[in-house]
Structure 1
Amino acid sequence: MEKNLLRGIQISKEEEVFLNKHGVKQLLTAIKNEDEDIFKRGMVITLPHQGLRSGELLGLFWSDIDFENKTLTVNRQRTSKGLGPPKSKSSYRTMTIEGLN
């Protein structure tokens, strides 16, 4: 190939849009009124409060949740290839679960 056909073509980057505090509150209010899929509702309610990646949330086992001490431990994540280690060493963590009764 003598000529690069893609030279001079610029790819525009779309700005990522994140939910602000008000948007998260609206989402949580809306999902609490949904009772069709308790799994999805649990994911939406948990993610903003715990700072988990979706793969980390999907990789949780019941044994990773300590209801007595109100903690959650991230030991693995679910990817398209199945269960595996978290993304980095610092991703292995135990955190307090806010609002757990």
Structure 2
Amino acid sequence: MATAENWLLRPEILPMLKRNCVTGLKEEHLSYAGGLGGTPELLESLSIFFNHFFSPWTPVKPEHIVTGTGCSAVLDTLINDICDEGDGLLVTAPMWGEYMRV
């Protein structure tokens, strides 16, 4: 748990990446995202994925999803948005020292 690598998903993700990189990779995929929180295509794809694999009670819509550059950045933004100065935060293991300042 010391890195952001997810070895459990590799057998499932590798075939999808190989297939889609051959058939679906476009020039615009090599640039920065076109909007804050993710491109419309990414958000639509994620909503389809979540609805298909998790069957939520309330269907997930693209406008329910926000993406970020990584877990650290997303957690930092979330914590800064929902906490006030002086608030306490309980964090389960693993814990990253970066959040000690919050």
Higher strand share: 1
Same fold (TM over 0.5): no
TM-score, scaled to structure 1: 0.26
TM-score, scaled to structure 2: 0.26
> Which structure has the bigger radius of gyration?
1
Q: Which has the higher contact order (CA 8 A, sep 6+)?
A: 2
